Structure 1
Amino acid sequence: MNSRLLLVLAGLLGAAGVAAAAAASHVPGGAMLASGAELLLVHAAALLGLAALAERRRERGRLVLVLIGIVMAIGAGLFAGDMAARVFHGQGLFPYAAPTGGSSLIGAWIVLALASAVGSIRAE
């Protein structure tokens, strides 16, 4: 897997985060939307870091980092998408979308920590 995918996902999350932050100041329920925007922007930056790390790793380490990034992007999208759907449509994306997204993010961060601890993504 190519780390370029992480850069694409980072750009998409970052753009969505800025758009959500801007919209949050103009709509009722903007605090919920602002929370989603913040989560998107933080994880866009995290994906940039993962992409930079992945470029310096061999095949196996790169794969682990790219997969972690994909799970983070999906999790952030689900969480923030559910917040946006609630604000703009009065209901979430689907039952448990936000908790699924949040749990995915927590899991991705834990896998990153564990992979680092056991040396799966050590410096090479």
Structure 2
Amino acid sequence: MLSRTLMIFAGLLGAAGVAAAAGASHGESRNLSAIATIFLAHAPALLALAMLGKGRVLSVASLVLALGAMVFGGDLALREWAGHGLFPGAAPLGGGAMILGWLGVAIAGVAGKSRP
């Protein structure tokens, strides 16, 4: 179930990242450029984690990474189009979650068992 959820997140982030890149190319928007960068960097990683990831630590790290990217990007998108953020501190919270997710991936690599 988690791998399907991660694939959904990967697909949504990838599509939104391409749309944000297209929008950024037609104007001067730091928010759209940042969304494109974050989403297009994290979508393939989440897809790989969905397809290859095993273990509890890696599963939690992947979910934290996905949610962090969504909160971060959602906050920037609302700032771009609505003139206000998702909630106070959303971007730093999302960014912090992405950092924790990546550290979780590293911990899973260190703590993981070797595959035969």
Kindly provide the amino acid, as one letter, of the partner of residue 75 in structure 1: G
Q: Does 1:99 align with 2:92?
A: yes
How far off its partner does 1:122 sit?
A: 4.3
Report 1:25-40 matches (<5 A). 25-27=25-27, 29-40=28-39
Q: CA RMSD in A?
A: 1.8
Kindly provide the amino acid, as one letter, of the partner of residue 69 in structure 2: A
The answer to whether the 8 Å contact 2:72/2:92 transfers is: yes
The answer to whether the 8 Å contact 2:58/2:108 transfers is: no
CA distance in 1 between partners of 2:71 and 2:2 (Å): 23
CA distance in 2 between partners of 1:43 and 1:72 (Å): 8
How far off its partner does 1:49 sit?
A: 1.4
Aligned residue for 1:67?
Answer: 60
CA distance in 2 between partners of 1:2 and 1:89 (Å): 32
Q: Does 1:114 align with 2:113?
A: no
Aligned residue for 1:4?
Answer: 4
Closer/same/farther in 2, CA of residues 20 and 122 from structure 1, 3 Å limit: farther
CA distance in 1 between partners of 2:98 and 2:114 (Å): 21
Aligned residue for 2:18?
Answer: 18
Task: Give the % identical residues.
Answer: 50
CA distance in 2 between partners of 1:122 and 1:98 (Å): 36
Closer/same/farther in 2, CA of residues 122 and 20 from structure 1, 3 Å limit: farther
The answer to whether the 8 Å contact 1:79/1:99 transfers is: yes
TM-score if structure 1 supplies the norm length? Answer: 0.82
The answer to whether the 8 Å contact 2:9/2:43 transfers is: yes
The answer to whether the 8 Å contact 1:32/1:83 transfers is: yes
Q: How many residues are paired up?
A: 116
How far off its partner does 1:85 sit?
A: 1.1
Aligned residue for 2:72?
Answer: 79
CA distance in 2 between partners of 1:82 and 1:109 (Å): 20
Closer/same/farther in 2, CA of residues 2 and 88 from structure 1, 3 Å limit: closer
